[in-house]
Amino acid sequence: MPFSNLGLCDPIVRAIEDQGYASPTPIQKKAIPIILSGKDVIATAQTGTGKTASFVLPILELFNKDRKLRGKRIRALILTPTRELAVQIEANITKYSKHLNLSSMAIYGGVDSESQKQRLIEGVDILVATPGRLLDLAHQRALHFDELEVLVLDEADRMVDMGFVGDIDKIVDRLPVTRQNLLFSATMSHDVREMADGFSDSKMSETAVEVSISSNVKSAPSIKQWLITVDKDTKSALLSHLIKEQEWDQALIFIEKKHAAAKLVVQLEKRGIKAESIHGDRSQAMREKILADFKSGNLKYLVATGVAARGIDIGKLSRVVNYDLPFKPEEYIHRIGRTGRAGQPGEAISFVALGDFKNLCAIESRLNHLIDRKEIEGFPVRKEVPISILNYVRKSKPPVKSASKPRNKASGKVTAEKSENTENSSVWGQIKK
Protein backbone atom coordinates (compact mmCIF):
# COMPACT_ATOMS: atom_id res chain seq x y z
CA MET A 1 0.00 0.00 0.00
CA PRO A 2 1.47 3.43 -0.91
CA PHE A 3 1.53 6.33 1.56
CA SER A 4 -0.86 8.32 -0.64
CA ASN A 5 -3.63 5.80 0.18
CA LEU A 6 -3.44 6.81 3.83
CA GLY A 7 -4.96 10.22 3.14
CA LEU A 8 -1.75 12.22 3.23
CA CYS A 9 -1.31 15.16 0.86
CA ASP A 10 1.22 15.24 -1.94
CA PRO A 11 3.89 17.44 -0.22
CA ILE A 12 3.98 14.99 2.71
CA VAL A 13 4.12 11.94 0.44
CA ARG A 14 6.98 13.55 -1.51
CA ALA A 15 8.90 14.22 1.70
CA ILE A 16 8.43 10.58 2.74
CA GLU A 17 9.64 9.40 -0.65
CA ASP A 18 12.69 11.63 -0.25
CA GLN A 19 13.43 9.61 2.89
CA GLY A 20 13.36 6.46 0.81
CA TYR A 21 10.39 4.92 2.63
CA ALA A 22 8.69 2.62 0.11
CA SER A 23 5.53 1.82 2.05
CA PRO A 24 4.03 2.45 5.48
CA THR A 25 5.04 0.21 8.37
CA PRO A 26 2.28 -1.72 10.21
CA ILE A 27 1.91 0.89 12.95
CA GLN A 28 1.71 3.64 10.34
CA LYS A 29 -0.99 1.78 8.39
CA LYS A 30 -3.05 1.35 11.53
CA ALA A 31 -2.53 4.62 13.36
CA ILE A 32 -2.46 7.25 10.60
CA PRO A 33 -6.11 6.91 9.41
CA ILE A 34 -7.40 6.88 13.02
CA ILE A 35 -5.42 9.96 13.99
CA LEU A 36 -6.59 11.72 10.82
CA SER A 37 -10.17 11.03 11.89
CA GLY A 38 -9.53 13.03 15.06
CA LYS A 39 -9.85 10.19 17.55
CA ASP A 40 -7.72 9.62 20.64
CA VAL A 41 -5.26 6.76 20.26
CA ILE A 42 -3.41 4.51 22.67
CA ALA A 43 -0.72 2.72 20.69
CA THR A 44 1.63 -0.03 21.77
CA ALA A 45 4.63 0.19 19.50
CA GLN A 46 8.30 -0.25 20.12
CA THR A 47 11.05 2.03 18.94
CA GLY A 48 12.19 0.97 15.50
CA THR A 49 8.71 0.29 14.15
CA GLY A 50 8.27 3.70 12.52
CA LYS A 51 6.08 4.95 15.36
CA THR A 52 7.35 8.53 15.16
CA ALA A 53 6.07 9.00 11.61
CA SER A 54 2.81 7.33 12.61
CA PHE A 55 1.91 10.31 14.79
CA VAL A 56 3.90 13.07 13.07
CA LEU A 57 2.52 12.54 9.55
CA PRO A 58 -1.19 12.85 10.44
CA ILE A 59 -0.49 15.88 12.63
CA LEU A 60 1.21 17.53 9.65
CA GLU A 61 -1.74 16.65 7.45
CA LEU A 62 -4.28 18.03 9.93
CA PHE A 63 -2.36 21.25 10.52
CA ASN A 64 -1.53 21.83 6.88
CA LYS A 65 -5.23 22.00 6.00
CA ASP A 66 -5.86 24.75 8.45
CA ARG A 67 -2.84 26.95 9.20
CA LYS A 68 -3.29 29.37 12.06
CA LEU A 69 -0.69 30.35 14.58
CA ARG A 70 -0.42 33.08 17.19
CA GLY A 71 2.55 34.29 19.20
CA LYS A 72 3.70 32.08 22.10
CA ARG A 73 1.08 29.51 21.10
CA ILE A 74 1.64 25.89 20.12
CA ARG A 75 -0.77 23.59 18.31
CA ALA A 76 0.75 20.19 19.02
CA LEU A 77 2.81 19.18 22.02
CA ILE A 78 4.91 16.02 21.87
CA LEU A 79 6.26 15.04 25.27
CA THR A 80 9.30 12.77 25.42
CA PRO A 81 11.28 11.38 28.35
CA THR A 82 14.73 12.41 27.12
CA ARG A 83 16.49 15.22 25.34
CA GLU A 84 17.93 12.88 22.74
CA LEU A 85 14.52 11.59 21.80
CA ALA A 86 13.16 15.15 21.63
CA VAL A 87 15.94 16.15 19.25
CA GLN A 88 15.45 13.05 17.14
CA ILE A 89 11.68 13.50 16.82
CA GLU A 90 12.08 17.14 15.90
CA ALA A 91 14.62 16.20 13.24
CA ASN A 92 12.06 13.80 11.79
CA ILE A 93 9.35 16.48 11.82
CA THR A 94 11.70 18.80 9.93
CA LYS A 95 12.28 16.13 7.28
CA TYR A 96 8.63 15.19 6.90
CA SER A 97 7.44 18.82 6.77
CA LYS A 98 10.08 20.12 4.39
CA HIS A 99 7.54 20.91 1.65
CA LEU A 100 5.06 22.46 4.09
CA ASN A 101 4.85 25.80 5.77
CA LEU A 102 4.73 24.48 9.34
CA SER A 103 7.14 25.16 12.17
CA SER A 104 8.57 22.87 14.81
CA MET A 105 11.13 23.04 17.57
CA ALA A 106 12.46 20.96 20.46
CA ILE A 107 12.91 22.26 23.98
CA TYR A 108 14.81 20.37 26.65
CA GLY A 109 16.96 21.03 29.70
CA GLY A 110 20.73 21.13 29.97
CA VAL A 111 21.06 24.05 27.55
CA ASP A 112 20.42 27.74 27.87
CA SER A 113 16.69 28.52 27.71
CA GLU A 114 16.98 32.04 26.29
CA SER A 115 17.14 31.07 22.62
CA GLN A 116 14.25 28.63 23.19
CA LYS A 117 12.17 31.49 24.65
CA GLN A 118 13.03 33.72 21.71
CA ARG A 119 11.85 31.14 19.21
CA LEU A 120 8.60 30.59 21.08
CA ILE A 121 7.67 34.27 20.73
CA GLU A 122 6.52 33.70 17.14
CA GLY A 123 4.53 30.60 18.12
CA VAL A 124 5.34 27.07 16.96
CA ASP A 125 3.04 24.57 15.25
CA ILE A 126 4.63 21.46 16.74
CA LEU A 127 6.64 21.59 19.94
CA VAL A 128 8.64 18.59 21.14
CA ALA A 129 9.57 18.89 24.80
CA THR A 130 10.88 17.13 27.84
CA PRO A 131 8.57 17.71 30.80
CA GLY A 132 10.90 19.65 33.12
CA ARG A 133 11.96 22.32 30.65
CA LEU A 134 8.42 22.69 29.35
CA LEU A 135 7.12 23.41 32.85
CA ASP A 136 9.97 25.87 33.48
CA LEU A 137 9.12 27.83 30.34
CA ALA A 138 5.39 27.66 31.01
CA HIS A 139 5.96 29.10 34.50
CA GLN A 140 7.91 31.92 32.90
CA ARG A 141 4.98 32.50 30.55
CA ALA A 142 7.21 31.90 27.56
CA LEU A 143 4.39 29.86 25.99
CA HIS A 144 0.65 29.38 26.39
CA PHE A 145 -1.39 26.27 25.81
CA ASP A 146 -4.80 27.77 25.09
CA GLU A 147 -4.61 26.90 21.37
CA LEU A 148 -3.24 23.42 21.79
CA GLU A 149 -5.05 20.88 19.64
CA VAL A 150 -3.03 17.68 19.95
CA LEU A 151 -1.09 16.15 22.83
CA VAL A 152 1.30 13.28 22.13
CA LEU A 153 2.94 11.34 24.89
CA ASP A 154 5.78 9.31 23.46
CA GLU A 155 7.42 6.41 25.29
CA ALA A 156 4.84 6.67 28.04
CA ASP A 157 6.17 3.60 29.83
CA ARG A 158 9.56 5.23 30.05
CA MET A 159 7.97 8.42 31.37
CA VAL A 160 6.45 6.39 34.19
CA ASP A 161 9.74 4.61 34.90
CA MET A 162 11.62 7.87 35.04
CA GLY A 163 9.25 9.43 37.55
CA PHE A 164 7.69 12.01 35.23
CA VAL A 165 4.08 11.25 36.12
CA GLY A 166 3.82 14.21 38.51
CA ASP A 167 5.19 16.59 35.87
CA ILE A 168 2.87 15.23 33.22
CA ASP A 169 -0.13 15.73 35.49
CA LYS A 170 0.92 19.34 35.98
CA ILE A 171 1.28 19.87 32.24
CA VAL A 172 -2.05 18.21 31.42
CA ASP A 173 -3.76 20.45 34.01
CA ARG A 174 -2.70 23.45 31.93
CA LEU A 175 -4.01 22.17 28.58
CA PRO A 176 -7.40 22.90 27.01
CA VAL A 177 -9.90 20.18 27.83
CA THR A 178 -10.89 19.71 24.20
CA ARG A 179 -7.93 18.26 22.37
CA GLN A 180 -6.81 15.07 20.68
CA ASN A 181 -4.69 12.75 22.85
CA LEU A 182 -2.19 10.27 21.42
CA LEU A 183 -0.28 7.99 23.73
CA PHE A 184 2.53 5.78 22.48
CA SER A 185 4.25 3.22 24.63
CA ALA A 186 6.54 0.27 24.00
CA THR A 187 4.71 -1.67 26.70
CA MET A 188 1.26 -1.23 28.20
CA SER A 189 1.15 -1.45 31.97
CA HIS A 190 -1.40 -0.52 34.61
CA ASP A 191 0.62 2.65 35.35
CA VAL A 192 0.56 3.72 31.70
CA ARG A 193 -3.21 3.22 31.48
CA GLU A 194 -3.66 5.12 34.70
CA MET A 195 -1.66 8.00 33.27
CA ALA A 196 -3.81 7.97 30.11
CA ASP A 197 -6.94 8.03 32.24
CA GLY A 198 -5.70 11.18 33.95
CA PHE A 199 -5.83 12.96 30.57
CA SER A 200 -9.55 13.58 30.64
CA ASP A 201 -12.70 13.10 32.73
CA SER A 202 -13.87 10.31 30.46
CA LYS A 203 -11.26 7.63 30.96
CA MET A 204 -9.00 7.58 27.91
CA SER A 205 -8.26 3.89 28.27
CA GLU A 206 -11.99 3.28 27.74
CA THR A 207 -12.64 5.82 25.00
CA ALA A 208 -9.48 5.85 22.86
CA VAL A 209 -8.88 3.56 19.92
CA GLU A 210 -6.22 1.04 20.83
CA VAL A 211 -3.61 0.17 18.27
CA SER A 212 -1.06 -2.49 18.89
CA ILE A 213 1.51 -4.06 16.72
CA SER A 214 3.67 -5.60 19.37
CA SER A 215 1.41 -7.91 21.34
CA ASN A 216 2.76 -10.99 19.61
CA VAL A 217 6.01 -9.49 18.48
CA LYS A 218 8.41 -9.81 21.34
CA SER A 219 11.23 -8.22 19.42
CA ALA A 220 12.00 -7.35 15.83
CA PRO A 221 12.60 -10.62 13.98
CA SER A 222 15.63 -9.31 12.12
CA ILE A 223 17.61 -9.04 15.35
CA LYS A 224 19.93 -11.95 16.03
CA GLN A 225 20.26 -12.28 19.78
CA TRP A 226 22.94 -14.20 21.59
CA LEU A 227 24.61 -14.15 24.97
CA ILE A 228 27.96 -14.95 26.44
CA THR A 229 28.26 -16.06 30.02
CA VAL A 230 31.13 -14.25 31.61
CA ASP A 231 32.73 -13.51 34.94
CA LYS A 232 32.25 -9.90 35.98
CA ASP A 233 35.97 -9.15 36.06
CA THR A 234 36.61 -10.31 32.50
CA LYS A 235 33.88 -8.29 30.79
CA SER A 236 36.06 -5.48 29.46
CA ALA A 237 38.72 -7.90 28.19
CA LEU A 238 35.99 -9.94 26.49
CA LEU A 239 34.52 -6.84 24.86
CA SER A 240 37.93 -5.75 23.53
CA HIS A 241 38.55 -9.26 22.26
CA LEU A 242 35.24 -9.39 20.38
CA ILE A 243 35.67 -5.94 18.87
CA LYS A 244 39.09 -6.90 17.51
CA GLU A 245 38.57 -10.56 16.71
CA GLN A 246 35.21 -10.15 14.99
CA GLU A 247 36.21 -6.80 13.47
CA TRP A 248 33.07 -5.04 14.66
CA ASP A 249 32.25 -2.05 12.50
CA GLN A 250 30.13 -0.31 15.13
CA ALA A 251 28.61 -1.07 18.51
CA LEU A 252 26.35 0.67 20.98
CA ILE A 253 27.34 -0.68 24.38
CA PHE A 254 24.87 -0.37 27.25
CA ILE A 255 26.22 -0.12 30.74
CA GLU A 256 24.47 0.47 34.06
CA LYS A 257 26.44 3.18 35.82
CA LYS A 258 27.92 6.50 34.77
CA HIS A 259 31.33 5.99 36.37
CA ALA A 260 31.57 2.48 34.89
CA ALA A 261 30.92 3.97 31.44
CA ALA A 262 33.86 6.35 31.77
CA LYS A 263 36.06 3.56 33.15
CA LEU A 264 35.22 1.21 30.29
CA VAL A 265 36.21 3.84 27.74
CA VAL A 266 39.62 4.10 29.43
CA GLN A 267 40.00 0.30 29.51
CA LEU A 268 39.16 0.03 25.82
CA GLU A 269 41.57 2.81 24.98
CA LYS A 270 44.37 0.97 26.80
CA ARG A 271 43.72 -1.88 24.39
CA GLY A 272 43.90 0.43 21.41
CA ILE A 273 40.14 0.83 20.89
CA LYS A 274 38.80 4.35 20.59
CA ALA A 275 35.42 4.71 22.27
CA GLU A 276 33.33 7.45 23.86
CA SER A 277 30.67 7.49 26.54
CA ILE A 278 27.40 9.34 27.05
CA HIS A 279 25.67 9.56 30.39
CA GLY A 280 23.86 12.06 32.52
CA ASP A 281 27.02 13.82 33.74
CA ARG A 282 28.11 14.85 30.25
CA SER A 283 27.02 18.22 28.99
CA GLN A 284 24.28 18.43 26.41
CA ALA A 285 26.71 19.88 23.86
CA MET A 286 29.11 16.99 24.42
CA ARG A 287 26.35 14.38 24.18
CA GLU A 288 25.17 15.89 20.92
CA LYS A 289 28.67 15.96 19.48
CA ILE A 290 29.35 12.35 20.46
CA LEU A 291 26.01 11.21 19.04
CA ALA A 292 26.67 13.06 15.78
CA ASP A 293 30.11 11.40 15.55
CA PHE A 294 28.57 8.01 16.21
CA LYS A 295 25.84 8.53 13.63
CA SER A 296 28.32 9.71 11.00
CA GLY A 297 30.54 6.70 11.68
CA ASN A 298 33.50 8.79 12.89
CA LEU A 299 33.04 7.14 16.26
CA LYS A 300 32.68 3.38 16.11
CA TYR A 301 32.06 2.39 19.70
CA LEU A 302 29.70 4.22 22.02
CA VAL A 303 29.27 3.28 25.67
CA ALA A 304 25.98 4.59 27.02
CA THR A 305 23.91 4.36 30.16
CA GLY A 306 20.33 3.27 29.49
CA VAL A 307 18.83 6.70 30.10
CA ALA A 308 21.28 8.56 27.91
CA ALA A 309 20.86 6.04 25.14
CA ARG A 310 17.10 6.39 25.02
CA GLY A 311 16.06 7.92 21.75
CA ILE A 312 19.20 7.12 19.84
CA ASP A 313 18.21 6.41 16.27
CA ILE A 314 21.01 5.39 13.99
CA GLY A 315 19.87 4.23 10.58
CA LYS A 316 21.72 0.96 10.22
CA LEU A 317 23.20 0.20 13.61
CA SER A 318 24.49 -3.31 13.26
CA ARG A 319 25.08 -4.21 16.85
CA VAL A 320 24.12 -3.48 20.45
CA VAL A 321 25.87 -4.96 23.44
CA ASN A 322 24.35 -5.37 26.89
CA TYR A 323 27.59 -5.04 28.78
CA ASP A 324 25.34 -5.01 31.83
CA LEU A 325 22.11 -6.91 31.51
CA PRO A 326 19.16 -4.61 32.21
CA PHE A 327 16.93 -5.23 35.17
CA LYS A 328 13.64 -5.13 33.26
CA PRO A 329 12.74 -7.28 30.27
CA GLU A 330 11.09 -4.22 28.66
CA GLU A 331 14.41 -2.41 28.86
CA TYR A 332 16.11 -5.33 27.15
CA ILE A 333 13.60 -5.13 24.32
CA HIS A 334 14.02 -1.35 24.04
CA ARG A 335 17.77 -1.71 23.89
CA ILE A 336 17.92 -4.39 21.27
CA GLY A 337 15.42 -2.31 19.29
CA ARG A 338 18.32 0.04 18.54
CA THR A 339 19.59 -2.47 16.04
CA GLY A 340 17.76 -4.17 13.21
CA ARG A 341 15.81 -0.96 12.73
CA ALA A 342 13.26 -0.66 9.93
CA GLY A 343 13.99 -4.14 8.66
CA GLN A 344 17.80 -3.88 8.71
CA PRO A 345 19.55 -6.94 10.14
CA GLY A 346 21.28 -6.50 13.46
CA GLU A 347 22.68 -8.40 16.39
CA ALA A 348 22.24 -8.00 20.12
CA ILE A 349 24.87 -9.50 22.38
CA SER A 350 24.47 -9.75 26.13
CA PHE A 351 27.17 -10.39 28.70
CA VAL A 352 25.64 -12.45 31.50
CA ALA A 353 27.35 -13.07 34.82
CA LEU A 354 26.06 -15.33 37.57
CA GLY A 355 24.63 -12.33 39.45
CA ASP A 356 22.41 -11.59 36.43
CA PHE A 357 20.70 -14.97 36.54
CA LYS A 358 17.32 -13.76 37.76
CA ASN A 359 17.31 -10.85 35.33
CA LEU A 360 18.11 -13.32 32.55
CA CYS A 361 15.24 -15.58 33.65
CA ALA A 362 12.86 -12.60 33.53
CA ILE A 363 14.07 -11.55 30.06
CA GLU A 364 13.95 -15.03 28.57
CA SER A 365 10.53 -15.65 30.15
CA ARG A 366 9.29 -12.46 28.50
CA LEU A 367 10.78 -13.47 25.14
CA ASN A 368 9.39 -16.93 25.73
CA HIS A 369 12.56 -18.51 24.46
CA LEU A 370 16.11 -19.01 25.57
CA ILE A 371 18.70 -16.74 23.99
CA ASP A 372 21.43 -18.63 22.10
CA ARG A 373 24.59 -19.01 24.14
CA LYS A 374 28.04 -18.75 22.58
CA GLU A 375 31.34 -19.68 24.12
CA ILE A 376 34.33 -17.55 23.31
CA GLU A 377 37.68 -19.26 23.23
CA GLY A 378 40.07 -17.93 25.82
CA PHE A 379 37.27 -16.81 28.13
CA PRO A 380 36.33 -19.78 30.28
CA VAL A 381 33.75 -18.97 32.95
CA ARG A 382 34.54 -19.62 36.59
CA LYS A 383 30.98 -19.03 37.82
CA GLU A 384 28.58 -20.88 35.51
CA VAL A 385 25.20 -19.27 34.79
CA PRO A 386 22.44 -21.91 34.93
CA ILE A 387 19.91 -22.31 32.13
CA SER A 388 16.84 -20.14 32.74
CA ILE A 389 13.48 -21.38 33.81
CA LEU A 390 10.97 -19.87 31.41
CA ASN A 391 8.03 -19.40 33.76
CA TYR A 392 9.94 -17.16 36.08
CA VAL A 393 8.04 -14.39 37.85
CA ARG A 394 9.42 -11.62 39.99
CA LYS A 395 8.35 -11.69 43.60
CA SER A 396 8.52 -7.97 44.23
CA LYS A 397 9.21 -4.63 42.56
CA PRO A 398 12.69 -3.40 41.68
CA PRO A 399 14.68 -1.72 44.43
CA VAL A 400 13.29 1.80 44.91
CA LYS A 401 15.04 4.14 42.53
CA SER A 402 15.42 7.74 43.50
CA ALA A 403 13.91 8.77 40.19
CA SER A 404 11.18 6.18 39.95
CA LYS A 405 8.36 7.41 42.11
CA PRO A 406 4.85 6.00 42.33
CA ARG A 407 2.06 8.02 40.77
CA ASN A 408 1.67 11.07 42.90
CA LYS A 409 0.32 14.36 41.69
CA ALA A 410 2.29 16.21 44.32
CA SER A 411 5.63 14.62 43.52
CA GLY A 412 8.24 17.12 42.51
CA LYS A 413 10.41 17.08 39.43
CA VAL A 414 12.81 14.20 39.24
CA THR A 415 15.58 14.39 36.73
CA ALA A 416 16.28 11.62 34.29
CA GLU A 417 19.90 11.33 35.20
CA LYS A 418 19.25 10.22 38.75
CA SER A 419 17.93 6.87 37.67
CA GLU A 420 21.24 5.96 36.12
CA ASN A 421 22.65 5.02 39.48
CA THR A 422 20.32 2.12 39.90
CA GLU A 423 22.08 -1.15 40.57
CA ASN A 424 21.08 -4.33 38.83
CA SER A 425 19.73 -6.11 41.84
CA SER A 426 19.26 -9.81 41.63
CA VAL A 427 18.66 -10.82 45.21
CA TRP A 428 14.91 -11.07 44.96
CA GLY A 429 12.30 -12.67 42.77
CA GLN A 430 11.43 -16.33 42.59
CA ILE A 431 10.88 -19.16 40.21
CA LYS A 432 7.21 -20.04 39.92
CA LYS A 433 6.71 -23.69 40.76
Give 119's Cβ-side CA count (13 Å radius).
Answer: 15
Residue 342 engages ligand AMP in binding (rule: CB under 6 A): yes
Q: Which residue from 8, 13, 24, 171 is in contact with ligand AMP, where contact means CB under 6 A?
A: 24
Instruction: Determine which residue in the list 44, 52, 180, 415 makes contact with ligand AMP, applying CB under 6 A.
Output: 52
| Type of residue at 125 | D
Binding window for ligand AMP (CB under 6 A); candidates: 22-30, 60-68, 120-128, 187-195: 22-30
Of 110 and 337, which CB lies nearer to ligand AMP in the complex structure? Answer: 337
Phi, psi of 410 (to 5 degrees): -85, -5
* Closest distance of CB 136 from ligand AMP, Å: 27
Q: Which stretch binds ligand AMP (CB under 6 A): 24-32, 161-169, 227-235, 383-391?
A: 24-32
What residues from 142 to 201 belong to the interface with ligand AMP (CB under 6 A)? none
Q: How many CA atoms lie within 13 A of 86 on its CB side?
A: 27
Q: How far apart are CA 161 and CA 310, in angstroms?
A: 12
Per-residue interface string for the shown chain with ligand AMP, residues 258-297, x marking contact by CB under 6 A: ----------------------------------------
The single residue among 8, 13, 15, 25 that binds ligand AMP, judged by CB under 6 A, is 25
Minimum distance from CB of 398 to ligand AMP (Å)?
Answer: 26
The dihedral sign for the CA sequence 277, 280, 282, 285: positive
Among 216, 315, 382, 397, binds ligand AMP (CB under 6 A): 315
The single-letter code of the amino acid at 344 is Q
Among 313, 347, 364, 417, binds ligand AMP (CB under 6 A): 313
Q: What is the DSSP letter of 397?
A: P
* Under 8 Å between Cβ of 69 and 105: no
Q: Which is nearer to ligand AMP, 250 or 267 (CB)?
A: 250
Q: Under the criterion CB under 6 A, does residue 340 sit at the interface with ligand AMP?
A: no
CA atoms within a 13 Å half-sphere pointing along the CA-CB vector of 227:
28
Distance CA 180, CA 41 (A): 8
The answer to whether 53 contacts ligand AMP (rule: CB under 6 A) is: yes
Q: Measuring CA to CA, which residue among 336, 330, 322, 338 is closest to residue 362?
A: 330
Nearer to ligand AMP, 3 or 145 (CB): 3
* DSSP-assigned beta bridge partners for residue 319: 347
> Are 194 and 407 within 8 A, CB to CB?
yes
Read off the amino acid at residue 138: A
- Distance separating alpha carbons of residues 61 and 352, to the nearest angstrom: 47
| Cβ-based nearer residue to ligand AMP, 28 or 365 | 28
Give the DSSP H or E segment for 88. helix 83-96
Residue closer to ligand AMP (CB basis): 24 or 109: 24
> Can residue 132 be called a binding residue for ligand AMP (CB under 6 A)?
no
- Residues contributing to the site for ligand AMP (CB under 6 A): 21, 24-25, 28, 47-53, 313, 315, 341-342
